[in-house]
Structure 1
């Protein structure tokens, strides 16, 4: 009898071990499958997983750029110009919404860009809930991707320093030069000041482009006046900048930006009808007197401010970066200096993005 009880215990232990083994096998298989599925979905191109993970860790220049479905051709032109004008290794973090992921993969995979190193990051627009008001005067300036620059530390970026570029720029210089800028102690970012490029001042004045804080903040509001920022202080352009992610985190820059977004949501301290829309003023407030200046030739801007005002050819040649900020984009019509942009444009292999040009 005792022998029978002992045998039953042994059989029970064997049965328990078999059950645990079976459960462990199923769990391990499930986790492996889930990990592989996520890895395939996130990077966004057909290279091997191991190659992509290695690419992120390379000593590459990381460039963050957004790609909206309706402006995807602009993003690809920017990427092409960066990639073509440097010998350095560049890694592109392409931030987008879910509806554009498939098109981005096809745009890159079926064109000359297929050999670039990149990763697609999906941005969740719900992070903006309660922080951005609808505004019918410039709805394009309220696109969720306009606010990606606020959330850089929250993106899946494996670099401590990054370059952020808008999708309406063309890089004519070597991006390594911009990346190597020395940030001053305590500065989380470097921007181009709106007062630093004398050769463009005449055109800026002729088209009425704002270059001071007065053009971006509503100084009738007491909360704006309490900032103590002189309305005649020079503004800067946040469409091109170099950022130190560690310093950004240390200073809690994202939380500061969100604070001013929510203040504007309640008090209308600025609006998209003003010069920089609703994405520029929080940057101007948070980084006032706390940023390093970059060489102004690395952001020769206002090309999209007027369909008629043109830069001198000498200015265009000296520019390391051309920026069509404003309403008149180079993929639409009318716009100035189209030849400078079209040189880098790559037609969409899916046919969904096309240039707007006059007939004939």
Structure 2
């Protein structure tokens, strides 16, 4: 063997030895980094787009809980807050159906996709206002009160066609309990819906007379009208609040509830059965008629309301508000406005608008 060949073999062996040493050093460095930063090895170029709460998605399986909410452009921050509160306080497999108008779709999609809410399951449905033709009075005062989206709850089976049960929530709500518990509310046989009675102890304490809130049927319906008299309803019957609805959609379909609601809407355009009542509501009366003594009830702590009524919200203690499983700011004063009770509770669930179009209005020290 020549000297040149021996030198080549030695160089090759040295090169192999060098590569082995380098490989071992790299493996040791990798082990060190993994011990010091356990997540470093899992970082991939595209994972920066994933939510830090992605792990929660793995356990959100099983029965879907359909939750329907309406989204008006000027109240979009409210929708985001209620969705966030439902999502964060439950590990249930919640699927939101958001009913809105065409001009709000892009804003809503941006808000959800560019914030920590990006992993929430939802579908957006555009409300067809033509469905209300002939069902809402053309009186200017009535038209102003007739915000189209408030009628979306009448059409629940159409928006969640594959579901047997669903929850409807107003947008001025914060959910502090596990939505699974509300969904599991038992409805009596033959009942298509469950509501919160206005005479229950948890909400009646907040009612203020003369503020547009009533706790019986006479506050919503004109009992002097013949069509109302024929129904044989008692005027002092406790009313209910349709801001939270648990619906048995199978019964809803079988009993043609939507058709019944539309019937009373149409009749009201001709006879003013409820358009000019003290409550000033044209959404609640049809529900009161159709579900008269034929609905189940919701646990009072799952619908603590009147927080948006002047003076009423402040009657509740902070301890009571903390214990409540669902808070409802029904009334003129909303938690994203300047003067509202317990707006700090709502603020905890609000997710800032990435477009900057919506911001809560807050009182500053210099305001009068």
TM norm. shorter chain > 0.5: yes
| TM-score, normalised by the number of residues in structure 2 | 0.79
Q: CA deviation at 1:137?
A: 4.8
Q: Which runs of 4+ in 1 moved over 6 A?
A: none
Rounded to whole Å, the distance in 1 between the matches of 2:205 and 2:99 is 35
Alpha-carbon spacing, 1:107–1:157, altered in 2? closer, same or farther (3 Å): farther
Which sections of structure 1, spanning at least 5 residues, go unmatched? Answer: 1-45, 47-55
The structure 2 residue matched to 1:201, chosen from 200, 204, 207, is 204
Q: CA deviation at 1:82?
A: 0.2
Give the aligned partner of residue 155 of structure 1.
Answer: 159
Q: CA deviation at 1:116?
A: 0.4
Alpha-carbon spacing, 1:200–1:160, altered in 2? closer, same or farther (3 Å): closer
Confirm or deny that 1:268 pairs with 2:272.
yes
Rg (Cα) greater in structure:
2
Summarize the alignment of residues 226-241 of structure 1 with structure 2, pairs less than 5 Å apart: 226-241=230-245
Q: CA deviation at 1:57?
A: 10
Alpha-carbon spacing, 1:258–1:105, altered in 2? closer, same or farther (3 Å): same
Confirm or deny that 1:60 pairs with 2:64.
yes
Rounded to whole Å, the distance in 2 between the matches of 1:317 and 1:100 is 33
Contact 2:220 2:277 in 1 (8 A): no
Rounded to whole Å, the distance in 1 between the matches of 2:191 and 2:280 is 22
Deviations 1:9-58 (A, max 9, x none): xxxxxxxxxxxxxxxxxxxxxxxxxxxxxxxxxxxxx9xxxxxxxxx996
Rounded to whole Å, the distance in 2 between the matches of 1:258 and 1:64 is 20
The structure 2 residue matched to 1:170, chosen from 167, 174, 194, is 174
Give the aligned partner of residue 332 of structure 1.
Answer: 337
Question: Which range moved further: 208-217 or 100-109?
Answer: 208-217
Alpha-carbon spacing, 1:172–1:269, altered in 2? closer, same or farther (3 Å): same
CA RMSD of aligned residues (A): 2.1
Rounded to whole Å, the distance in 1 between the matches of 2:353 and 2:164 is 32
Aligned pair count reads 305
Give the aligned partner of residue 350 of structure 2.
Answer: 345
| DSSP 3-state at the match of 1:204 | coil
Rounded to whole Å, the distance in 2 between the matches of 1:152 and 1:172 is 24
Contact 1:332 1:357 in 2 (8 A): yes
| TM-score, normalised by the number of residues in structure 1 | 0.80
Alpha-carbon spacing, 1:309–1:324, altered in 2? closer, same or farther (3 Å): closer
Give the aligned partner of residue 226 of structure 2.
Answer: 222
Contact 2:208 2:312 in 1 (8 A): no
Deviations 1:261-285 (A, max 9, x none): 0011111111165315100000000
